[in-house]
Amino acid sequence: MEKLSNFILKVLSILTVVAQIFCGIAGASVIFANVAVLFVSGEAATELKKYVLQPSNLSKGMLELSGLNALLILVSIIFALHALRKIINNIAQSDFFVESNVNNMKLMMGSVVIFILGNVLSMMFFSFGNGRNLSSIFSNSWGQIGSYLILLAIIYMLYLVFKYGFELQHDSDTVI
């Protein structure tokens, strides 16, 4: 059973690294697209206006702001995955109730809060632009935000468990 647990933890750790790499590539793509929009001119500017800006009532500035918001969302996901990977690696080494896990849970909570706020901003951008969703990555609905809040509540409960376990472990270590 221990070998299976170690295997699963290693796979989860690898998956978090792969997800971080994909989010990094997506973040670089968003940065490139935002910079490219700044320098669009000529026929490309006409196409941008015709197919992106006019149908969605977005200005070039709003498009850039939504791109920066997408970057904020991707960075928050990268930080959350980084914290998760550290927790997984600690658990694989049988370090359950250590200060590092408590701090990583705080980082994960903060990242998820930023992720939720970024999605709320994204919904506002899309509602300003007549609801035309430029991407199908996130559903951009209030129901989805409710799911994210449930995820945040679960992470907070896990944070409390790790914090309480760390305090008990610390008390136990100082008594002995």
Domains: count for the chain? 1
Give the 3-state secondary structure of 30-83.
HHHHHHHHHCCCCHHHHHHHHHHHHHHCCCHHHHHHHHHHHHHHHHHHHHHHHH
pLDDT (average), residues 132-139: 52
pLDDT (average), residues 97-109: 96
Range(s) of the domain holding residue 44: 2-175
Q: In this predicted structure, which of 6-10, 24-28, 54-58, 118-122 has the lowest mean pLDDT?
A: 54-58
Distance CA 142, CA 33 (A): 27
Distance CA 108, CA 159 (A): 9
Structure tokens at 110: 């903060």
Q: Does 134 score more than 60 pLDDT?
A: no
